[in-house]
Amino acid sequence: MLQKPGQVISGDRTLEKVCGYDFMGESNLIEVYIRALRMKLEASNSKRLLHTVRGVGYALREQN
């Protein structure tokens, strides 16, 4: 997400990049880590940075 800010990246693609191609873990793993990242990034910043694009994935961008 940092390499391509603003571009929507699917949850499957994120899981593949982070855990590898053959990862067989929990299906909500990405949601858990996205939430943790949001809490850390937004603790000192009132703007939302990580956005969920429903049915597609996630994007890193500033809220307008």
Whether the per-residue pLDDT at 45 is higher than 60: the answer is yes
Please name each of the domains of the chain with its CATH number. 11-60 (1.10.10.10)
**Which is higher by pLDDT, 40 or 19?**
40
pLDDT class for 8, splitting at 50, 70, 90?
A: very high
HEC string of the chain? CCCCCCCCECHHHHHHHHHCCCCCCCCCHHHHHHHHHHHHHHCCCCCCCEEEECCCEEEECCCC
What are phi and psi for residue 4, nearest 5 degrees?
A: -135, 65
* Confidence (pTM): 0.70
pLDDT tens sequence across 14-37: 777 777 766 666 668 888 888 998
Residue bearing tokens 């693609």: 13
Q: Return d(Cα 4, Cα 1) in angstroms, integer.
A: 5
